[in-house]
Structure 1
Amino acid sequence: MARSRLLPDNFTLYLIATVTLASLLPAQGVFADALAIATKVAVSLLFFLHGAKLSREAILAGIGHWRLQIAVVATTFALFPVLGWALSPVLRPLVTPDLYTGILYLCALPATVQSAIAFASMARGNVPAAVCSASASTLLGVVLTPLVLGLLLAQDAAMGDLLGAIGRIGVQLLLPFIAGHLLRPWIGDFLKRRTSVMKVVDQGSILLVVYAAFSHAVIDGLWSQLPLSAMAGLLVVCGVLLALVLSVTVWGSRRLGFSKEDEIAIVFCGSTKSLITGVPMANVLFAANVAGAIVLPLMVFHQMQLMVCAVLAQRYARRPADPALTAAEAAKA
Structure 2
Amino acid sequence: MPRARAIATRVGLDWFLVALLSMIGLAYLWPELGVDREPISLGDVANYGVSVIFFFYGLRLSPEKLKVGLSNWKLHVVVQLSTFILFPLLILPLHTLFEDTPQELLWLGVFYLAALPSTVSSSVVMVSIAGGNIPGAIFNASISSLLGIFITPLWMGIFLTSGTGNFDMGSVMGKLVLQVLLPVVLGILLHRFWGAFAERNKGRLRVFDQVIILLIVYTSFCESFARKMFSGYSITDVLLLGAAMIALFFLVYGLILTVSRLLGFSRDNQIAAVFCGSKKSLVHGTVMSKVLFPGGTMVGIILLPIMMYHALQLLASSIIAQAEARRKAGD
TM-score normalised by structure 1 residue count: 0.90
Match of 2:16 in 1: 11
Determine whether 1:293 maps to 2:298: no
Determine whether 1:178 maps to 2:178: no
**Could you tell which deviates more after superposition, 148-157 or 266-275?**
148-157
- Mapped to 1, the partners of 2:141 and 2:308 lie a distance apart of 21
Superposed, which structure 2 residues align to 1:72-221 within 5 Å?
72-89=79-96, 96-153=103-160, 155-157=162-164, 160-221=167-228
Deviation at 1:202, TM superposition (A): 1.0
- Mapped to 2, the partners of 1:24 and 1:32 lie a distance apart of 20
**Residues 122, 317 of structure 1: 8 Å contact kept:** yes
Q: Structure 1 residues 262 and 96 mapped into 2: Cα distance closer, same or farther (>3 Å)?
A: same
Superposed, which structure 2 residues align to 1:310-329 within 5 Å?
310-320=318-328
- Mapped to 1, the partners of 2:99 and 2:259 lie a distance apart of 27
Deviation at 1:32, TM superposition (A): 8.3
- Mapped to 2, the partners of 1:32 and 1:86 lie a distance apart of 45
- Mapped to 2, the partners of 1:75 and 1:227 lie a distance apart of 32
5+ long unaligned stretches in structure 2: none
Aligned-partner SS, 1:318: helix
Q: Structure 1 residues 95 and 266 mapped into 2: Cα distance closer, same or farther (>3 Å)?
A: farther
Deviation at 1:159, TM superposition (A): 7.2
**Residues 137, 272 of structure 2: 8 Å contact kept:** yes
Aligned-partner SS, 1:273: coil
The C-alpha deviation readout for 1:254-276, integer Å capped at 9, x for no partner, is 01111110000000110000001
Aligned-partner SS, 2:75: helix
**Residues 256, 273 of structure 2: 8 Å contact kept:** yes
**Residues 91, 237 of structure 1: 8 Å contact kept:** no
Between the aligned residues of both structures, percent identity stands at 36
- Mapped to 2, the partners of 1:86 and 1:96 lie a distance apart of 15
RMSD: 2.4
**Residues 95, 104 of structure 2: 8 Å contact kept:** no
TM-score normalised by structure 2 residue count: 0.91
Determine whether 1:309 maps to 2:314: no
Match of 1:35 in 2: 42
Number of residues paired by the alignment? 323
- Mapped to 1, the partners of 2:178 and 2:109 lie a distance apart of 23
2:234 is aligned, of 227, 233, 237, to 227
Superposed, which structure 2 residues align to 1:235-314 within 5 Å?
235-286=242-293, 287-314=295-322
Q: Structure 1 residues 134 and 6 mapped into 2: Cα distance closer, same or farther (>3 Å)?
A: closer
